[in-house]
Amino acid sequence: MMPNKLIVANLKMDMALNDVINYLNIISDKINNKKVIICPTSIFIPYFLFHNYQVGIQNVFYESQGAYTGEVSPKQASSIGVNYALIGHKERRQIFKEDDLIVNKKIKACLKHHLKVILCVGESKKDIDKIDTNIILKKQLICALEGVPADEFKNIIIAYEPSWAIGTSITPSNEQIRNIVDYIKDIIKVNFNYQDSKVLYGGSINDINITEINKIENVDGYLIGEASIDSKKFLSIIEVIQKG
Ligand code: PGA
């Protein structure tokens, strides 16, 4: 049975070539549908494409080409068959100091080169000591999506990932996630006049808590980090989601 919910695996900067090959051997034939998107480290993307997976790139630069040593452009990613790009991930924002303006430029560059965007938003613990979560999310969304043409919204998926839940084993309650997902959909409706936005939840999803988290009706899928790097855990998570 095809899962109704989208499943995005963020393999982060994990795995060397032999791990990628083992991983592909274990998952092959078990996940070959369009609702699973795998985001490997850039240099390993061709291996996943070769096995016919839907692939996302974990980061891109906003220029199409030029003297930007070490960067990969949306045009280059698109040219090899990458379908999605993760933009605004907490690790990019915190470690690489990417702000809302950079996120906005990257989104526009991706859409220009036909890469669908998975836009990550979420509050940090430091933020919420000072300011309400909804205000933080509204600002992130409005700045990130400023100037994006209305007909491109179907190519944007939003991932709600509170930064305090990423890699910490702590998750918000189902009620908190449900309320925030509704709030995000509302922001997009009111500010961008788009009625059908898709919102994922991400942050410390694992093979144990997925059964409970998967009860939240308004979530359109999941962004899974650490637990997706372990092929067996990832397959059990997919199985739970597929059963609904
Ligand atoms: P995590 O990461 O599942 O390890 O918390 C989520 C993410 O990086 O998007």
- The per-residue pLDDT for range 213-225, each reduced to its tens digit, is 999 999 999 999 9
Cα(66) to centroid(ligand 1), Å = 32
Tokens of residue 121, six digits: 């938003």
Q: Give the tens place of pLDDT for each residue, 59-113.
A: 999 999 999 999 999 999 999 999 999 999 999 999 999 999 999 999 999 999 9
Q: What is the pTM of this model?
A: 0.96
2 pLDDT above the threshold of 50: no
Report helix, strand or coil for 104. Answer: helix
Pocket flag, ligand 1, residue 204 (CB < 6 Å): yes
Contact residues for 109 (Cβ-Cβ < 8 A; gap 6+): 60, 61, 62, 63, 64, 73, 74
H helix or E strand, kind and range, residue 75: helix 74-79
Residue of 11, 41, 204, 237 with the most ligand 1 atoms within 8 Å of its CB, for mutation: 204
Q: Give the tens place of pLDDT for each residue, 133-175.
A: 999 999 999 999 999 999 999 999 999 999 999 999 999 999 9
Catalytic residues, by residue number, are 89, 161
Which DSSP category does 62 fall into? S
Distance, in Å, from the CA atom of 39 to the CA atom of 10, rounded to the nearest integer, reads 5
Q: Give the tens place of pLDDT for each residue, 24-38.
A: 999 987 786 678 999
Q: What are the C-alpha distances in Å from 174 to residues 27, 40, 171, 199?
A: 29, 28, 9, 14
Q: Where do runs of H (alpha helix) occur along the chain?
A: 17-27, 45-50, 74-79, 90-95, 100-112, 125-130, 133-145, 174-192, 210-213, 226-229, 231-243
Pocket flag, ligand 1, residue 225 (CB < 6 Å): yes
Pocket flag, ligand 1, residue 40 (CB < 6 Å): no
Do 60 and 106 form a contact (C-beta atoms < 8 A)?
yes
Tokens of residue 70, six digits: 């070490």
What's residue 30's pLDDT? 79
What's residue 228's pLDDT? 98
What is the pLDDT confidence band of residue 204, given thresholds at 50, 70 and 90? Answer: very high
Report helix, strand or coil for 63. Answer: coil
